[in-house]
Amino acid sequence: MTFDINNIRNDFPILQRKVHNRPFVYFDNAATTQKPLKVIERMDKVYRETNSNIHRGVHYLSDITTNDFEAARETVRNFINARHDHEIIFTPGTTAGINLVAYTLGEKVIRRGDEIIISAIEHHANIVPWQMLCERKKAKLRVIPMNDNGELLLEEYRKLLSPRTRIVAVTHVANSIGTVNPVKQIIEIAHSQGVPVLIDGAQAIQHLRVDVQELDADFYVFSGHKMYGPTGIGVLYGKEGILEEIPPYQTGGEMVDQVSFEKTTFNSLPFKFEAGTPNYIGAIGMGAAMEYLKEKGLDEIAAYEKDLLEYGTRRLSEIEGLYLFGRAKEKIGVLSFVLKGIHPYDAGMIIDKHGIAVRTGNHCAQPIMERFGIGGTVRASLAFYNTRKEIDRLCEAVEKVKEMFS
Ligand code: PMP
């Protein structure tokens, strides 16, 4: 076991810096995570030593980079336990992956009057592409409601499923309040009616062990930058059968087999969905991030984060006038709160002056804020490089905010 918090913090150069003359505390991990040296150095090495465009080259460096890119695909396959390498499609990120499915599967299967089910706790990225698809096709968007703790109501979900349901798309973990959804069960219920399911794993992949075969997900999407990897790269996992059936999304080079002015035939999986030069250095960097996480131990990370969440929940709950949103039994390290009589933006600005980065606003999840009857929250989202001492500093900063507004 190599989980040692001091060593881990030393792996992240940015955590050593100061902000407003104070040791930097980074609690905006749900927006993006910081990068360990292993990732930075791996990408730096490609730029310095082996950079060449992939697949088409016959020359030495192109061969090395192609192998490294395809090795990253295998690393991803292994990380999420997909059956085949070619079920791993590199995308620019979660948003791109969801749009890909909406424009391929969606265009193929949705007809007028059909229904798509999402949930009340989705990020805008898993709402708007489906809403736009519904508009194009004159279909209907159905929403699984939640209770006051931020947990989805599965009985309501069962009622929403109908012979018109064509797609279910739900998040594994809610970015705004941290709820972990029972996605295995959600998938099982959809499959009992023959409906395919997309899972938005943007906030799950960095906290939970994800096994796409065990979940039996048809699609699983996530972003590299939220799991300690680089920006501009993500993954769409899709089951081989369904990826074979759906049409390509973006078209152009790489994704083709034969091209003439009369007709084009398409490349095989996964290349059919990777038009143009992919972000191969990003993919290699994301592979390095996955290797780093495995090295530190996924279970050890989860246990450490659970402790931090419990500590943070307890400490913040002790503050008078502070209300925490998101009290699901199953949740990851998101502390989303409001302070009585204080706008989240004002609170966030003052907290920042203490060298602590939190996020304020609706967290790209306006419907859930509306459901709670608020405009937004202050959100401290935790990562395994955070500490109890940092949570103490957040609590001190919150007390200062209260003093200033009293
Ligand atoms: N879904 C969820 C649950 C998210 O938290 C985010 C990012 N905040 C996204 C989708 C979109 O991810 P990206 O911006 O990397 O495409």
Q: Tokens 């409601």 belong to which residue? A: 145
CA count, 13 A, side-chain hemisphere, 153 = 11
Pairing of strands 219-223, 197-200: parallel
CATH number for the 5-31+297-405 domain, one of 3.30.390.50, 3.20.20.10, 3.90.1150.10, 3.30.70.270? 3.90.1150.10
For 159, residues 6+ apart whose C-beta sits below 8 A from its C-beta are none
* pLDDT, averaged in runs of 10, over the chain (406 residues): 86 98 98 98 98 91 97 98 98 98 98 98 98 98 97 98 98 97 98 98 98 98 98 98 97 93 94 97 98 97 97 98 97 97 97 98 91 94 98 98 95
Residues with a known catalytic role: 364
pLDDT of residue 57: 78
Distance in angstroms (rounded) separating the CA atoms of residues 243 and 89: 10
What are the start and end residues of each CATH 3.40.640.10 domain in the chain?
Answer: 41-294
Distance in angstroms (rounded) separating the CA atoms of residues 253 and 267: 10
Q: How does DSSP classify residue 148?
A: T
Distance in angstroms (rounded) separating the CA atoms of residues 26 and 75: 28
- In the reported structure, the alpha carbon of residue 123 is separated from the centroid of ligand 1 by a whole-number distance in angstroms of 7
Count CB atoms within 10 A of the CB of residue 130. 24
- Rg of the chain over Cα atoms, rounded to whole angstroms, equals 22
The residue to mutate among 28, 94, 171, having the most atoms of ligand 1 within 8 angstroms of its beta carbon, is: 94
Looking at ligand 1, which residue's alpha carbon is closest to its atom 12? 94
Distance in angstroms (rounded) separating the CA atoms of residues 206 and 85: 20
pLDDT of residue 56: 79
| Tokens matching residue 49 | 């030593």
Is 41-294 in CATH node 1.10.3660.10?
no
- In the reported structure, the alpha carbon of residue 95 is separated from the centroid of ligand 1 by a whole-number distance in angstroms of 6
Residues with CB under 6 A from ligand 1: 30, 93-95, 123, 125-126, 171, 175, 200, 202-203, 223, 364
Q: What is the 3-state secondary structure (H, E, C) of 174-215?
A: CCCCCEECCHHHHHHHHHCCCCCEEEECCCCCCCCCCCHHHH
What are the start and end residues of each CATH 3.90.1150.10 domain in the chain?
Answer: 5-31+297-405
Count CB atoms within 10 A of the CB of residue 192. 10
The residue to mutate among 130, 172, 175, having the most atoms of ligand 1 within 8 angstroms of its beta carbon, is: 175
pLDDT of residue 359: 97
| Tokens matching residue 147 | 């209770």
Q: Tokens 């994800």 belong to which residue? A: 210
- In the reported structure, the alpha carbon of residue 365 is separated from the centroid of ligand 1 by a whole-number distance in angstroms of 10
Its pTM stands at 0.98
- In the reported structure, the alpha carbon of residue 232 is separated from the centroid of ligand 1 by a whole-number distance in angstroms of 12
Pick from 374, 18, 326: which is nearest to 150 by CA? 326
Which ligand 1 atom sits closest to the C-alpha of 95? 16
Looking at ligand 1, which residue's alpha carbon is closest to its atom 8? 31
What phi, psi does 309 have (nearest 5°)? -60, -45
Which ligand 1 atom sits closest to the C-alpha of 234? 15
pLDDT of residue 1: 53
Q: In b/e form, how buried is each residue of 283-321, taking b as 16+ CB within 10 angstroms?
A: bbbbbbbbbbbeebebeebbebbeebbeebbebbeebee
Distance in angstroms (rounded) separating the CA atoms of residues 363 and 394: 19
Pick from 205, 185, 42: which is nearest to 119 by CA? 185
